[in-house]
Amino acid sequence: MKKLKYLIKYGLKKRLFTKAFYISTAVIGLLIVAITLLPTIINVFTGEPTAEKVEDKITVVNTTGYLGFNDLIEDNVKSQLAILGYEDDTQFIFTSDVLEIPNNDYYTSEYDESARVYIYLDLEAGILVQIYDQGLNVTVKNLILGQIRELNRYKYFIDNNTSTDIISDVIYEEIINPNTSNSELQMIVSSLSTLIIIPIFIIITIGLQFIGTEIMEEKSTKAIEIIIASVPPRTHFFAKILSIMIFLVVQLLTYVLFGLIGYGLNELIAGSSSTNAGAWASIVGELGVIILPTLIITLFSAILGALIYSVIGAFFASMAVNQEDYQSIQTPIMMILMISYMGGIFAGSANIKEVLLFFTYFPFSAPLVLPVAYAAGYIGYLEVIISFLIMLATTSLLLLVFTPLYRASILSYDQSKLIKRIKNTYQTSKVLKENQKQYEENHN
């Protein structure tokens, strides 16, 4: 255990405590901060924008008999719009006429309104709400939903002349317009999905190259023979993988920290603006609800992907005799990585669900495609967890297979063809295993 810790610390010192790491981290960190501050930077050069004007016309069909709902919704929405700095010209039309209740033909009929909200009572479920959206402003829609959630509390206050905090939210349903495909939102999601793949690909490539370089440095200088004489190959194998993974995690968390600093500064500056201009929440709009979980999935996908390919890279590096040989040997790994990269970009851009699902569950492509499939809305949390479990199981299987092979290949200088080299490594590992078994039997 002490030898494992020493090798991990030694590997981390070679990567973390260097001028190259400090300079690259500072440069990339400043770039990340600049990107997160981009809305504020644009506002500085373009000047303070005028307040956004909201001109939505909303019909509210309230058949509950609680007329106070009408004032609750309108007054609170308008007051919040004023606080947010919008130029408010919204129109609320309230009615309890059952003839105005939306039906299945709502979206095929012509209505001069942005949305229709239907509020009604159910004997078992209580207050229910249906929303028919024909182009409602995102901010107005969110504010209306915020007030809708309070209707049960307001009803309890009217019925009992007292308030309570223990009231469930109102159940609401958004009736999707079947005549539109929300192509604009889908296009934005596809663009973001394509960009997600690039940093994951870079992280995996860095891990693959770093672990190969470290092993080849020791092997090409014959230093590996001295190290293996003091440390078991298994310990050396795990130490290389863990040191690279800890380095990548530290690097990723550092970039996340820079991103949070930039985001916080941007929101602080935007919050001090009279119009709240430049706030990311107002920029991303409907995408806001998927951005945070997508970033979290991206972070874990990058780590698991780097782990899988680092295990493979460590074994292939152990079979090489020099850097040129390693670059040639790792060609199959890079081909798998490139196919996954191009497949993820193609499937994300073309929105081909079947292809995305295949790449999502294939462990070698899952790290690149999983965030894409989630951001595009093709999978949910359950599928994400299943994909993560498949990647973890694959890592365990690779470690189980490659650990004994690494023992046989790390001191080998075989320069035959790749397939024959793997075959020879397998045969040698069997001999070493039998010798180890015989040794243990003789000493027991």
Give the pLDDT confidence of 287-297 residue by residue, as tens digits: 556 677 888 89
Dig out the tokens for 306 from the structure. Answer: 């780097």
> Does 10 share its domain with 98?
no
> Does 203 share its domain with 130?
no
Q: How confident is the model at residue 397 (pLDDT cuts 50, 70, 90)?
A: very high
Q: How confident is the model at residue 305 (pLDDT cuts 50, 70, 90)?
A: very high
Residue 415 CA: distances (Å) to CA of 26, 229, 281, 329, 399: 41, 23, 57, 11, 24
pLDDT of 349: 63
Where do runs of H (alpha helix) occur along 47-135?
68-83
Within a domain: 359? yes
- Give which of 372, 274, 114, 349 is closest to 358, Cα–Cα: 372
> Does 204 share its domain with 92?
no
Say yes or no to pLDDT of 267 above 70: yes
Where do runs of H (alpha helix) occur along 110-222?
138-148, 151-160, 183-220
Say yes or no to pLDDT of 91 above 90: yes
Q: How far apart are CA 28 and CA 109, in angstroms?
A: 53
Q: How confident is the model at residue 67 (pLDDT cuts 50, 70, 90)?
A: confident
| Overall average pLDDT of the 304-314 stretch | 92
The DSSP letter of residue 325 is: H
Where in the sequence is the domain holding 349, given as residue range(s)? 2-38+184-442
With a CB cutoff of 8 Å and minimum separation 6, the contacts of 218 are 224, 227
Q: How far apart are CA 1 and CA 238, in angstroms?
A: 11
- Which of 180, 198, 223 corresponds to the end of one domain? 180
> Does 68 share its domain with 193?
no
pLDDT of 231: 86
Q: How far apart are CA 410 and CA 412, in angstroms?
A: 6
Of 58-62, 266-270, 343-347, where does the model show the most confidence? 58-62
> Does 192 share its domain with 334?
yes
pLDDT of 220: 79
> Does 63 share its domain with 144?
yes
- Supply φ then ψ for residue 60, to 5 degrees: -115, 115
Q: How far apart are CA 158 and CA 164, in angstroms?
A: 11
> Does 23 share its domain with 138?
no
Q: How far apart are CA 29 and CA 256, in angstroms?
A: 9
Within a domain: 235? yes
Cβ(260)–Cβ(299) under 8 Å? no
Q: How far apart are CA 185 and CA 289, in angstroms?
A: 13
> Does 283 share its domain with 317?
yes
Within a domain: 108? yes
pLDDT of 84: 75
pLDDT of 279: 58
> Does 129 share its domain with 142?
yes
Q: How far apart are CA 332 and CA 164, in angstroms?
A: 64
Stretch (H or E) spanning 24 = helix 19-36
Within a domain: 48? no
Within a domain: 188? yes
Q: How far apart are CA 330 and CA 311, in angstroms?
A: 12
Partners of 120 in beta bridges: 128
With a CB cutoff of 8 Å and minimum separation 6, the contacts of 355 are 343, 346, 347
228 dihedral zone (left: phi>0; alpha: psi -120 to 50; beta): alpha
Quick one: what percent of the chain has pLDDT higher than 90? 16
> Does 246 share its domain with 171?
no
Dig out the tokens for 51 from the structure. Answer: 């307040």
> Does 287 share its domain with 418?
yes
pLDDT of 152: 81
Within a domain: 397? yes
Say yes or no to pLDDT of 278 above 60: no
Dig out the tokens for 62 from the structure. Answer: 């309230």
pLDDT of 381: 85
Within a domain: 269? yes
Cβ(197)–Cβ(349) under 8 Å? no
Q: How confident is the model at residue 426 (pLDDT cuts 50, 70, 90)?
A: confident
Say yes or no to pLDDT of 85 above 80: no
pLDDT tens, position by position, 176-218:
776 655 544 555 555 656 677 888 888 898 888 888 888 888 8
Angle between helices 2-16 and 233-271 (to 10 degrees): 50
Q: How far apart are CA 65 and CA 62, in angstroms?
A: 7
- Which of 164, 180, 196 corresponds to the end of one domain? 180
Dig out the tokens for 86 from the structure. Answer: 């919008």
> Does 103 share its domain with 235?
no
- Domain count across the chain: 2
Q: How far apart are CA 332 and CA 337, in angstroms?
A: 9
pLDDT tens, position by position, 143-152:
888 888 788 8
Angle between helices 183-220 and 2-16 (to 10 degrees): 110
With a CB cutoff of 8 Å and minimum separation 6, the contacts of 3 are 230, 231, 235, 239
Within a domain: 263? yes
Q: How far apart are CA 72 and CA 90, in angstroms?
A: 15
142 by Cβ neighbours in 10 Å (0-12 / 13-18 / 19+) ranks as: middle
Dig out the tokens for 395 from the structure. Answer: 């890592």
- Supply φ then ψ for residue 115, to 5 degrees: -165, 160
pLDDT of 12: 82
- Which of 123, 150, 180 corresponds to the end of one domain? 180
| Overall average pLDDT of the 358-382 stretch | 84
Of 33-37, 75-79, 274-278, where does mean pLDDT reach its minimum? 274-278
In degrees, rounded to 5, the angle at the alpha carbon of residue 135 between the alpha carbons of residues 132 and 139 is: 95
Query: Using DSSP, how many helices (H) and how many strands (E) does the chain show?
Result: 17, 7
85 by Cβ neighbours in 10 Å (0-12 / 13-18 / 19+) ranks as: middle
pLDDT of 229: 81
